[in-house]
Amino acid sequence: MNGGAEILVVEDNPNDIELMLRSFRRHYLANSIFVARDGAEALDYVFGTGAHAQGGGQDQPKIIFLDLNLPKLNGIEVLRRLKSDERTRAIPVVVLTSAEEERNTIESYQLGVNSYIVKPVEFENFIRAVSQAGLYWMVLNRRPS
């Protein structure tokens, strides 16, 4: 399995990617961050397949921030695959999306998402939401070893 990054960001919007990276770095939340720009790349990265096959055997990310509106494979399908596989089931997944539909929230929780955050529109609120979620999952939360 691949996953040398501490944080995996699965996001296709370049502006949101930049804001997330800026927030993580500003709060010293991770030494290593990998950005997957579509759902297929995210799964290849986590499972060490496709373009990421050569990196197999590394540690899994400590947290995955997942958008739902993604090209190639949407976030619900990525979440379904992650939570249905014993190797990745325990990785915390935080949905960070602009999709406010209640059905997405319900389905995400039924699949095992750890948190569901609707992206704030204002810059400072977006930075605050990302940093608070990152601080909780990277610093305060305890995972089994």
CATH 3.40.50.2300 fits 7-137, yes or no: yes
pLDDT at 56: 55
pLDDT at 59: 66
pLDDT at 3: 44
**pLDDT beyond 70 at 58:** no
Q: How far apart are CA 80 and CA 89, in angstroms?
A: 10
Two tokens, residue 64: 């995955």
Which 8-state DSSP code applies to residue 132? H
Q: Find the range with the poorest average confidence among 1-10, 13-22, 34-43, 111-120.
A: 1-10
**pLDDT beyond 50 at 22:** yes
Q: How far apart are CA 59 and CA 3, in angstroms?
A: 5
Give the model's confidence band at 52: pLDDT under 50 very low, under 70 low, under 90 confident, else very high: confident
The residue type at 56: G
Q: How far apart are CA 101 and CA 26, in angstroms?
A: 31
Domain ranges of the chain: 7-137
Higher per-residue pLDDT: 138 or 57: 138
